[in-house]
Chain A
Amino acid sequence: MTPLQRRALLLAPFGFAAIGGSAMWVLLERLRDGAYDPHAVPDPMVGKPVPHFALPGLQPGSGFDTAEVLKHAPLLLNFFASWCLPCAQEATELMRLKQRGLPIWGVVYKDKPDAAAAFLKQNGNPYRRVAVDEPGRVAIDFGLYGVPETYLVDRQGILRWRWAGGLSPSVVRDWLTPLLKTYT
């Protein structure tokens, strides 16, 4: 083995460490930006059509199903609950979206209708329609794993975006607004 080959072999551990370190650096930067969330779950439902469902409404008779969603698409579908703190925190941002004229439909996840109604009275109601998914089964069909979660449904009834967690102004500005331009 030539001295150069030997030197290269001996530098290999440093090489591996350098690659590893760079990768961790990239992840840390993304963690700071919010582009990387170690707790996030991928979005396999994005790109697929809205799943088949039918839910009762918060007000009797005002429930909706897949067909209704397709009729009124594009819209934003937001899953929330009265026991969820980030849902209360994102209420202001949702109201701002409502002012912009974006249709937002709400689904109450695993909550009693009375509690949800009280929540809406306290935090404002940004939703044009509200349905109730008390058992939480429909949410699972959407691939939900917590609240709040927001889905963007486009004109054809395809799910185009999913955000797990509360909507903040930066999320709306950086992620939602560009998509709204494309799909609405």
Chain B
Amino acid sequence: MIPELGHFALALAVAIAAAQAVLPLWGAHERDPRLMAAAPGLALGQMIALLASYACLIWSAVVDDFSVYNIAENSSSTKPLLYKITGTWGNHEGSILLWCLILAVCGGAVGLFGRRLPSPLRARVIGVLGCVSAGFLLFTLTASNPFTRLWPPPINGHDMNPLLQDPGLAFHPPVLYSGYIGFSIPFAFAIAALLEGRVDAAWGRWVRPWTLAAWSLLTGGIALGSWWAYYELGWGGYWFWDPVENASLLPWLAGTALLHSAIVVEKREALKIWTILLAIGTFSLSLCGTFLVRSGILNSVHAFAVSPTRGVFILVLLALVIGSSLVLFAFRAPAMAPTGIFAPISREGTLVLNNVLLCSICAVVLTGTTYPLFSAVFGEKLSVGPPYFELTVFPLCIPLFAAMSVGQVLPWKRAALWPALRRLWWAALAAAVVAAVVAFGVHHALTALGFGAAAWLILGALAEPVQRLRLFRVPFSHARARAAAQPMAVWGSAIAHAGLGVTVAGIAGMTLAMHLIVAVAPGHTAHLDGYDFTLLDLHDASGPNYTARVADLRITHHGQEIATLHPMRRHFTIQNQTTADTAIQTNGFRDLYTVLGGERDGKAILRLNVNPLAPWIWFGALVMACGGALSLADRRLRIGAPARRRREAAVYGAAE
């Protein structure tokens, strides 16, 4: 019964999405206020229908309804409750339904929070979202239906891949998808602007909070995925330049560029055409990522096992969405004439440089990821691995990081470079000192460069607030008063840029990671980098759907006890798979990473890592996401639009 309700809700959502696609756009074209006003209602309706549908899927998983084919394939009665719920998005059909749900939530959010938008713009945005939704819902309903039934239902399901039975699964896909799909809103804004034939400063201001929200979520999602891979897969690695990982990095890079170029649109009404193209491009990259993962043409450890037929459906959908938006762009973009000008050396100038470099990195990663596919079309088999990406991306990051801190101290419109650089002298000095100290200490050029860059980024990020508060130049109480008056975006941007510096420091620290693979008998000790790992005991344990072999490891550092860790190997009975679970102890500055690799002759084969500054990689990403979220709280983003209407009313009032 419940699955049928879910199925019905899904079909209802398709119908509502179709209405949402047609009616508001027609209303905006015909300037019919009723049709335009229907938009938020339709968007909310679609959202509620899909919430109901997904709730039915979760319900079926929780009650172990194995008559639903999806549940039978991916769940089992012995699976813990958390994974029954979160496992609904651990397979293709469920995750596509989640995709549609989040897309509907985006539409609903525009309906709910976009009340201050002018009615035609809001109607067009919701209408475009409706078009995309309708396409994906149709695909879900016909080719990827999670509610298909299985009769007779089996006694028990096939259980889920053990690698996915992890708390990381609970958070990584929803946050990541929210980021991916969140960029549909700036995309819709761009299409709406093209349809309207107008991009102005107000548009730039309206589009920014949605872009910020999507960007923060995507940053969080990528970081969660990287962290999950780090502690789940047992190698101590955190980024493999895997095609699916790159598919998530591409919209992030384009989205960061979009975030910054939207600022120029708002300030100078310049870079309009570029920003529109970028908004279309970011969402297109999200969609392409979805396609690559689910079509089966990629060789990746993350890829869902899907059939080529589905791939064709998604490709057609993509062709319609991306193709039509790019054609619309080609024909309507010339109508957007830039009005503002700025000097090359100015904050806008560095934002342009930022865009060029970020989009170049994006283009390089895109080339590297898709090159094997294009070679395959010509019959050649080419392998593009991490060395390519490291050799091409790192050199582009250097000018990017250098410009990042400089850009934040340059004034708008026109600036002199040397006075601005002089303001950063302390950051440059600190960076040089840090790099020199590290180079002297570890004799590794990349590590020294990384730490130097991190110091430059973190201190450079503080330069703008320091300048705005006139810190060290006025009494502290004055500076504090100025601080209270600063818009949130100043703090948000400083924190986000500093967060990147923290991540870079973490990555640099990880280049110094040490590892040891050793066979240890119970009672004996292994030594690594000043830490002593004593194997106390090897014993059995069991869980709801697995049996385990656990090693008790006591770790001491120069005699002082640090922790007792329990790395284990779990054998999942139904899926007949064994996973090695790492045990990690962190003090915020280094991770002690232990894995039980197996046993031989009564000895445990242990893999031990000391990972300096590993937590900073993800902590930095968290700081970045927080910075983005903080900027959302800027009251200028909330007040922006109505001021125009009030001013118009005042003018008319005065005329009367």
Contacts and interface: CB of A to CB of B under 8 A. Distances in A.
Do any beta carbons of A and B sit within 8 angstroms of each other in the complex? yes
A38 interface: yes
A10 B329 contact: yes
B381 interface: yes
Contacts of A10: 273, 329-331, 333-334
Interface in A64-104: none
Contact of B323 (A6, A17, A31): A17
A28 B370 contact: no
A172 B333 CA distance: 55
B296 to A, nearest CB: 6
Interface stretch (B304-312, B514-522, B646-654): B304-312
Contacts of B281: 13
From A11, A17, A36, name the one whose CB has the most chain B CB atoms within 10 angstroms: A17
A32 B334 CA distance: 42
B296 A31 contact: yes
Interface string B531-571: 00000000000000000000000000000000000000000
Contacts of B381: 40-42
Contacts of B370: 20
Given A24-B315, A27-B376, A31-B311, A14 B291 contact: no
B637 interface: no
Interface string B280-298: 1100100000010001111
Given A23-B373, A32-B308, A13 B315 contact: no
Interface in A120-153: none
A14 B315 contact: no
A77 B232 CA distance: 40
A161 to B, nearest CB: 16
B329 A13 contact: yes
A28 B318 CA distance: 14
A58 to B, nearest CB: 29
Contact of B297 (A7, A11, A18, A27): A27
Contacts of B312: 25, 28
A26 B376 CA distance: 10
A63 B277 CA distance: 67
B327 interface: yes
Nearest to A36: B376
A21 interface: yes
A164 B89 CA distance: 33
A52 interface: no
Interface string B299-331: 100000000110110010011001100110111
A24 B287 CA distance: 14
B491 to A, nearest CB: 36
A17 B326 contact: yes
A35 B380 CA distance: 13
Given A20-B370, A23-B377, A31 B318 contact: no
A27 B299 CA distance: 13
A24 B309 contact: no
A181 interface: no
A173 interface: no
Interface string B365-409: 000001001101100010000000000000000000000000000
Nearest to A11: B330
Contact of B299 (A3, A28, A39): A39
B577 to A, nearest CB: 16
Interface residues of A, number: 25
Contacts of B322: 17, 21
Contacts of A21: 315, 318-319, 322-323
Contacts of A24: 291, 295, 297, 315, 373
A71 B571 CA distance: 50
Nearest to B303: A38
Interface in A21-56: 21, 23-28, 31-32, 36, 38-42
B326 A28 contact: no
A13 B284 CA distance: 11
B305 to A, nearest CB: 12
Contacts of A32: 308-309
B294 to A, nearest CB: 12
A36 B372 CA distance: 12
Given A14-B323, A28-B311, A23 B374 contact: yes
A38 B299 contact: yes
Given A23-B373, A26-B377, A38 B334 contact: no
A38 B306 CA distance: 13
B298 A38 contact: yes
A25 B315 contact: yes
Contact of A38 (B273, B296, B326, B377): B296
Nearest to A38: B299
Contacts of B319: 21
A14 B330 contact: yes
A162 to B, nearest CB: 13
Contacts of B333: 10
A39 B319 CA distance: 26
A38 B308 CA distance: 12
A110 B330 CA distance: 60
Nearest to A40: B381
From A13, A20, A25, name the one whose CB has the most chain B CB atoms within 10 angstroms: A13
Nearest to A3: B334
Contacts of B374: 23
Contacts of B326: 13-14, 17
From A11, A18, A24, A40, name the one whose CB has the most chain B CB atoms within 10 angstroms: A24
Nearest to A27: B297
Nearest to B300: A38
Contacts of B297: 24, 27-28, 31, 36, 38
From B273, B281, B297, name the one whose CB has the most chain A CB atoms within 10 angstroms: B297
Contacts of B277: 13
Contacts of A28: 295, 297, 308, 311-312, 315
Contacts of B334: 3, 6-7, 10
Nearest to A10: B330
From B273, B298, B315, B370, name the one whose CB has the most chain A CB atoms within 10 angstroms: B315
Nearest to B243: A38
A40 B308 CA distance: 17
Nearest to B288: A20
Given A10-B329, A24-B291, 4 more contacts: A13-B281, A23-B377, A31-B308, A42-B381
Going nearest first, the 4 A-B pairs with the smallest beta carbon separation are A14-B326, A42-B381, A38-B299, A10-B330
14 contacts: A6-B334, A10-B329, A10-B331, A11-B327, A11-B330, A13-B280, A14-B326, A17-B326, A24-B297, A24-B315, A24-B373, A25-B312, A28-B297, A42-B381
Interface of B: 273, 277, 280-281, 284, 291, 295-299, 308-309, 311-312, 315, 318-319, 322-323, 326-327, 329-331, 333-334, 370, 373-374, 376-377, 381
